Structure 1
Amino acid sequence: MGRPPRHDVDRLLDAAAELVAASGPSTVTVAAVARAARAPSGSIYHRFPSRSSMLATLWLRTVDRFQDGFLSALNTEPAARAAPAAARHVVAWSRAHPHEAHILLYGPADFDEPNWPQEARDRLERSDRRVRNAVRALAERLDRREPREVEQLFLATVDLPYATVRRHQSLGRPIPAYAEDLVTSCAATLMRS
């Protein structure tokens, strides 16, 4: 039985996430991750055939981790509580995972998405489709089928909470303790209008 790898994928991606949080995705290179993780470059190339592959894996891992709770919140019963629960999740998850929250404040293009392997781009599309479908399913449950109403739901569950997270992170400040209550209240108000 061989010994476990000293530089596993998660440890390397955690180092990459720290680089993104400190200086943005353009600083995530194989050499920079190797230095941050104290790993030889060969360990990184052994796990990721290219920088684009590493960036794709970082983005998709982060999205998957975030979406687990977000999609669950969108299925909250009764349906009227789902949008506020989803908004709360965005802020709570971002506070609990500050490095990964920085990643999600960018977009896939900032992580070299045009050069990702096709399998990663397909996975990204499935992931995006899951969120769109979940928000639309919530709109159906709420009997809000008009395009304006669906857009309002995206505003309440995605745009507003991310704007709150972005403002504090861009200033280098921690997200205040009241932020979850604030976005929850705003989402509930939007859903009543």
Structure 2
Amino acid sequence: MARPPRYNEMLLLDTAVQLAAAAGPAAVTMSAIAKASGVPNGSIYHRFPQRLTLLAELWLRTVERFQDGYLAALRSDPDPLRAGAAAARHVVAWSRKNPQEAAVLLHGPQSFGRDEWPEEFTQRADKGHERALGAVAELAKRLGATTEPDIDQVMLAVVELPLAVVRRYLRAGSPMPLYVEDLAQRCAMDLLASGPFSAGSVQRSESARDRLS
């Protein structure tokens, strides 16, 4: 059997995103995707031999799309305060424009079978995770954050605060208004500018390591 066209793979994953956003990861089954997409079961299994590989690709495609823009925002300005604020804004802006994908990410990778993924998927996930953590660590270094409280303050500004904004609207099923992007950006800028940071190298705490999965 010939390999299905590339657009079929995108269609399958787009359909899986819709199912996961509407009813959670458990709703992403081969039969549900076939019904919703109109793609025959055989074509689905040809591309994804097992459900676990489909779930892994679903998660990785989604998180990588988010991370690409987030990393670009962190490196968008030589001023670390403005770069950090841009990253916080990106979290909200991307989630507002991609509410279904943002809803997928709120479930976390474990909900998509992360502990049972084949090695090629776990390695890909780990590389992306470390890349994102490294970019935040570099921002912290540029800001002069050296202690664990300093680094937690950076994480709060550029990761946890904007995620809290996103979570609030997604869990309520409410669309995010445009002004929340400005709000996240201003709050991040204020929080970063108020940090008692001093020159030195960054030492990431273990408590901060799992916040960009």
Task: Say whether the fold is shared (TM-score over 0.5).
Answer: yes
CA displacement 1:19-78 (0-9 Å, x = unmatched)? 011111111011111111111111111111111100000110011111111001111221
Q: Does 1:136 align with 2:170?
A: no
Shift of 1:178: 0.7
* Structure 1 CA distance for aligned equivalents of residues 169 and 38 of structure 2: 30
Shift of 1:16: 0.3
Shift of 1:99: 1.0
Q: Does 1:53 align with 2:47?
A: no
Q: 1:30 to 1:119 in 2, by over 3 A?
A: same
* Structure 2 CA distance for aligned equivalents of residues 121 and 3 of structure 1: 25
Q: 1:31 to 1:153 in 2, by over 3 A?
A: same
> 2:98 — aligned with what?
97
CA displacement 1:104-128 (0-9 Å, x = unmatched)? 1111000011121110011111111
> 2:124 — aligned with what?
123
Alignment of 1:1-193 (within 5 A): 5=5, 8-77=8-77, 78-193=79-194
Identity %: 51
Runs of 5+ unmatched residues, structure 1: none
Contact 2:87 2:158 in 1 (8 A): yes
Shift of 1:5: 2.8
Runs of 4 or more above 4 Å deviation: none
- Larger deviation: 127-136 or 3-12? 3-12
CA displacement 1:125-160 (0-9 Å, x = unmatched)? 111101110000011111112121112111111111
Shift of 1:6: 8.3
Aligned length: 192
Shift of 1:83: 1.1
Contact 2:158 2:188 in 1 (8 A): yes
- After TM superposition, the score normalised by the length of structure 1 is 0.95
Amino acid at match of 1:8: N
* Structure 1 CA distance for aligned equivalents of residues 24 and 60 of structure 2: 17
- After TM superposition, the score normalised by the length of structure 2 is 0.86
SS in 2 for 1:8: helix
SS in 1 for 2:145: coil
- Larger deviation: 63-72 or 6-15? 6-15
Contact 1:94 1:100 in 2 (8 A): yes
Contact 1:7 1:39 in 2 (8 A): no
